[in-house]
Amino acid sequence: MTTDILLDFPALSEEDVRAALEAWLATSPRWVPQDLMERIELRSWTTHRACSFALTSLVETREQLTAHRSHAGQAPNLPDPLAEATPLQLPVPETWSDTTHDFPCYSKGQVVECANCSGGGRHVCAACGGDGTVTRTRTVSSGIGENRTTRRESYTVTCSNCDGSGRVRCAVCVGTGELWAFPITRVGRRVLSSQGCYDRTALPDALLKRGEVEETLLAPGGLGPELDGFSPALRQRIVEDVEKQLQRQAGARLLVQRIDLRWLPVTELRYALASPLGKQRPAAPAQVTSAAKQPKPAAAGTSGILWLYGEERSVHAPELQTAPSWFVALVCVAALLLGIAILAGIVAISLAR
Ligand SMILES: [Zn+2]
Ligand SMILES: [Zn+2]
């Protein structure tokens, strides 16, 4: 049975929670009532570990291609890198990057006819069209003074590209008319990355995606036993991410995977917020002291949930940060006025037509 390491985090005391809320109030968050600490009643809270993770996979694809090399009908006298290894076992580099490498297998090739010259080794000269000569024009002048005239005349010269033969040697097969066709294994490696968070509360994931890596797991062939000890939900989440990554690279084989983890405490706190007190009860100091000793009044106001997250115990309390009613009323009036203005504009345009 695996232990759920997500639960392995110390719980906060009430003093810790109050201190975190006071520190948050000191930063003057928008719309939060200033008398929050007097009105809030902390009901229950639990702390667990949330996990922010970055998943990286190095995958490999292999393609079989055919390459051609000019040669006089024989296998080039070259070594075949990794020709006999099946499957090719290539080392995994320390730093991962996108790469493409071709591994030719010269000895498994065969002689084929050169497609560029149809096996002739020569083809028609492109400069003269096969004539061996090219036609040029020049300007010729004759006469002196007012009788001077100029005209254009054509003349032919021997084609310098083919030395007058009208045919040139095929550059692809170097005149042999044959090529050595051999297989090539193209090994492509791609780095796939994704980031995610696992937190069992409704705290937005975006708030947890930060901080330094605390733990790195490296797994040749894919994460498996390395995830033992993770909660089933987190393991499921990571496995799904891995599958999504592989789907993006069709036919890819997983070489090695790395997961960078950061663990963060998340405290989910249920509270009640009493209706505002005090304003209607200006009292003498003696009365305030005695009132403070009495048990807190039952919260007639609202209740809600907030979260303390991270080592620094940041606060996420959207239910406490609601705009006051005067602001809502102002926005409503502004929207109404805007609506009337648009309507008046439409009416004015239709009347003008
Ligand atoms: Zn020519
Ligand atoms: Zn050729």
- pLDDT bucket at 237, cuts 50 / 70 / 90: confident
List, in sequence order, the alpha helices (H) in the chain.
14-25, 36-39, 232-247, 285-293, 325-352
End-to-end CA distance of the chain: 79
pLDDT per residue as tens digits for the range 15-40: 999 999 999 999 988 888 888 899 99
Cα-to-centroid distance, 115 and ligand 1 (Å) = 21
Measured on CA atoms in the order 211, 214, 219, 223, is the torsion positive or negative?
negative
- Identity of the highest mean pLDDT range in 61-70, 81-90, 144-153, 284-293: 61-70
- Is the pLDDT at 240 greater than 90? The verdict is no
Q: Closest Cα partner for 68 from 134, 130, 12, 117?
A: 117
Nearest-angstrom CA–CA distance, 259 and 216 = 6
Cα-to-centroid distance, 102 and ligand 2 (Å) = 24
Nearest-angstrom CA–CA distance, 316 and 24 = 10
**Cβ neighbours of 98 (radius 10 Å):** 10
Cα-to-centroid distance, 151 and ligand 1 (Å) = 28
The two structure tokens encoding residue 328: 């809502």
- Is the pLDDT at 5 greater than 60? The verdict is no
Cα 244 to Cα 167, 181, 193: the distances in Å are: 57, 38, 10
Mean per-residue pLDDT, 245-260: 85
pLDDT per residue as tens digits for the range 75-97: 667 766 655 555 566 777 888 99
Residue 292, pLDDT score: 40
- Largest Cα separation within the chain, whole Å, is 131
Q: In the 8-state DSSP scheme, what is residue 290?
A: H
Cα 90 to Cα 62, 82, 251: the distances in Å are: 12, 9, 18
pTM over 0.75: no
- pLDDT bucket at 220, cuts 50 / 70 / 90: confident
pLDDT per residue as tens digits for the range 150-183: 888 899 999 999 999 999 999 899 899 999 998 8
- Say if residue 17 is exposed, middle or buried (CB neighbours under 10 Å; 0-12, 13-18, 19+): buried
Cα-to-centroid distance, 162 and ligand 1 (Å) = 4
- Is the pLDDT at 225 greater than 80? The verdict is no
Q: Domains of the chain: which residue ranges?
A: 122-169, 323-353
Cα-to-centroid distance, 123 and ligand 2 (Å) = 8
Percentage of the residues of the chain whose pLDDT score is greater than 90 = 31
Cα-to-centroid distance, 174 and ligand 1 (Å) = 17
Cα-to-centroid distance, 168 and ligand 1 (Å) = 7
Nearest-angstrom CA–CA distance, 23 and 192 = 40
Least confident of 74-83, 132-141, 173-182, 198-207: 74-83
Mean per-residue pLDDT, 206-210: 78
Cα-to-centroid distance, 116 and ligand 2 (Å) = 5
Q: Closest Cα partner for 197 from 268, 246, 263?
A: 263
Nearest-angstrom CA–CA distance, 246 and 257 = 12
Nearest-angstrom CA–CA distance, 202 and 183 = 56
Cα 188 to Cα 70, 97, 249: the distances in Å are: 26, 10, 11
Q: Which listed ligand is nearest to 178 at the C-alpha?
A: 2
Cα 150 to Cα 138, 139, 143: the distances in Å are: 10, 7, 9
Nearest-angstrom CA–CA distance, 13 and 160 = 95
Cα-to-centroid distance, 123 and ligand 1 (Å) = 10
Contact predicate 254/61, CB 8 Å: no
Nearest-angstrom CA–CA distance, 105 and 185 = 8
Q: Which listed ligand is nearest to 176 at the C-alpha?
A: 2
